Chain A
Amino acid sequence: MTTDTTHKNRVLIGKAGLDGHDRGAKVIARALRDHGFEVIYTGIRRTPEEIAAAAIQEDVAAVGLSSLSGAHLRLFPAVVEALRQAGASDIPVLGGGVIPREDVPLLIEAGITEIFTPGTSVATIVKAFTEACATHRSGRTL
């Protein structure tokens, strides 16, 4: 006999690099919490490797990154790569911030699942995380 499963969507919201603008990351973290997510928040100024290690230890279903300093082309793929190195390439990475539209295909090519450009509604972002979690769960054997 078992009790009902108590599954929760667990995600990590992080800021890689040196950018200190965390308003967006914190608003998203709170919105996800208010939609029933368990959100691991890393704070600002983390390295891609630190974010990947935290994502693995916390067994999250998705990683969300925010960048406003223009370093996204370097940092977002670096997180994807750090996850891959750590054997966790199945964890999807979503990103947002001040990101020009023409950078979006480059980031998608580099393995970022979804990019939110300025003006994206919070509802859209929550929906994307919900879907990313569902996809991740269904693709997982263990």
Chain B
Amino acid sequence: MTSAAIASLLERVHARDPRAISRAISLVEDNHPQADLIMSSLAKEPIEKMMVIGITGPPGAGKSTLTGQLISRFRAEGQRLGIIAIDPSSPISGGAILGDRVRMMQHALDPDVLVRSMATRGRLGGLCAAAGATVRIMANGGCSVIIIETVGVGQSEMDIIRLADLTLLVLAPGLGDDIQAMKAGLLEVADLLVVNKADCPGSESLALDLESVAPDRSRVCQTDALTGRGVVELSSRLASLDAEHRADGTRTDRRVQAQEREIVDLAIELLRPRLDLAVSALHSEPSTNPRHLAHELLLRLGIPDA
């Protein structure tokens, strides 16, 4: 593929051609040889302006339905949206069923709602890189709000959330121990704690529970995604928080940190094939201390004192 072809693809991305946007995403996600060229040809300005919202929570909390409701709110404001819905790949086959967009099908024919499903593909840092790239391509395709939705159970999904300017942790009553296990790590990361299914029994006590452990009580919101109750309040909370973070520099700090994370993840991804190659050349004997061998491996690649 020539650089002229890439230039024409990017032109079409900027013209908001949905096929071009989705092709560009695939090429980067698949680590196509021209991925670098695509990424370095993107315009900075739309990326600077966009708002990225991360939505996470355990399965069954109603994340996709809530995302669907938020899409409606943002569309009413005239925003163009990009949605990245992340689902786990099967560890055995490497395949995946990507079903989240079903819950957003009410927006299926809206040309200003782009939904992209993404499988984790067993990548460690790579998922973060792929999602980060998708966010930037969508911004170049005219999306001013980008929502990343993940099942917040694995570490890689947690990392994805760091790509977001604002993060919602969606919980619902009756989901049991999953929540307990998740709460610890995610409570600190999340900007807003959303108790969804507010019409169901147990939601009040869950909200109280969260208020008692959250650093700030005002971070707890209640919604009912099926009826849309509380969604207006939630979106205005998001807007004011975003304004706050833009003003006090939080947003910039987060983006810098997120980019640092991406760089590290990408570097590890880039290094991995070389490590794989070098490790076989090491001809290591059974050892009580593989740590030492790892140091030696890095030394061979010219990285001393790791």
Contact = CB atoms under 8 A, between A and B. Distances in A.
Question: Do A and B touch directly, given a CB cutoff of 8 Å in the complex?
Answer: yes
Interface of A: 1-8, 10, 29-30, 32-43, 46-47, 49-50, 53-54, 56-59, 86-88, 141-142
A3 B31 contact: yes
Nearest to A60: B22
B273 interface: yes
Contact of B96 (A5, A33, A53, A54): A33
Contact of A39 (B27, B97, B108): B97
Interface string B77-104: 0000000000001101111111101100
B270 interface: yes
B1 A142 contact: yes
Interface size for chain B: under 10, 10 to 19, 20 to 34, or 35 or more residues? Answer: 35 or more
A30 B109 contact: no
Given A40-B98, A50-B108, A57 B90 contact: no
Contacts, number: 117
Given A33-B93, A58-B101, 13 more contacts: A5-B32, A6-B31, A36-B95, A38-B89, A38-B95, A38-B98, A38-B117, A40-B98, A40-B117, A58-B117, A59-B22, A142-B5, A142-B23
B151 interface: no
Interface stretch (B119-127, B188-196, B223-231, B246-254): B119-127
B126 A141 contact: no
B29 interface: yes
A48 to B, nearest CB: 11
Nearest to A26: B97
Nearest to B99: A41
B119 A38 contact: yes
B70 interface: no
Interface string B24-39: 0111011111011000
Nearest to B110: A53
Contact of A42 (B21, B36, B93, B105): B105
A60 B95 CA distance: 14
Given A6-B126, A8-B121, A35-B93, A142 B9 contact: yes
B116 A4 contact: no
B217 interface: no
Contact of B95 (A2, A6, A39, A57): A39
B300 interface: no
B146 interface: no
Contacts of B132: none
B115 interface: yes
B101 A2 contact: no
Contacts of B109: 47, 49-50, 53
A54 B97 contact: no
Contacts of B35: 2
Contacts of B44: none
A38 B108 CA distance: 20
Contacts of B174: none
Given A30-B97, A34-B95, A39-B96, A3 B272 contact: yes
Nearest to B5: A142
A6 B97 contact: no
B114 interface: yes
A29 B32 contact: no
A57 B36 contact: no
Contacts of B126: 3, 6
